[in-house]
Amino acid sequence: MKNQFKLCLFGILFFTAASCNKDEDPVTNGSIVGQWRMTDIHSNNGVLETTIGGETINATYSFHGTDYNTITTFTENPNEFSSTGSYTSLTDFVIQGQTEHDTSVVDAFAGTGTWSINGTKLTQIFSGDTSIFDILELSGSKLRLQANIDETVEDSTFDIFIHDRATVFSTFEKQ
């Protein structure tokens, strides 16, 4: 059971991404350029399907962040972003009817990526990977994002297949 838990934990930590609640129409009357401090990240509907050697293990999970010290900076001309800091992720997994709790520190990715906004979609490209977020709110002081994760990782060396689905919400305050 512990090995299954660790593999499921690997899947969620591998796919942790940013985003926030879709309870009204998007508000996008501000500029994303500047420094943004994370104030919330959470998901309540995560599903992991992990197949190891032909045996499938299903799990559900939810997580929320604490101890935020993550800052993301957006610049323009060129449109680049970078993040520093970390937050603590408190995750609850339900695997084969048993609940497992995990606490882990999630570090910001080191380096610089590019960004663009088209309507209410924020696209970020970092190290060749593209992430698309729904902008739920972008004002002079607040940024709320939603990411719909539907990712698959395969490792043929260890005969592991992980499929992760979740909606992740995050909120940032402008500094």
CATH number for the region 2-174 comes to 2.40.128
Tally of CB atoms within 10 A around 25: 9
Q: Which pLDDT band holds residue 165 (cuts at 50, 70, 90)?
A: very high
Domain ranges of the chain: 2-174
Amino acid making up residue 95: I
Alpha-carbon radius of gyration of the chain: 17
Q: Is the pTM of this model over 0.85?
A: no
pLDDT at 89 over 70: yes
Strand-pair partners of 121: 118, 134
Tell me, what's the pLDDT at 30?
Answer: 82
- Tens digits of per-residue pLDDT, 57-81? 999 999 999 999 999 999 999 999 9
Distances (CA, A) of 157 to 11, 86, 154: 16, 31, 9
The H or E element spanning position 66 is strand 55-66
Give the count of alpha carbons within 13 A of 144, CB side only: 15
Phi, psi of 5 (to 5 degrees): -60, -45
Task: Note whether 82 and 112 are within 8 A (CB).
Answer: yes
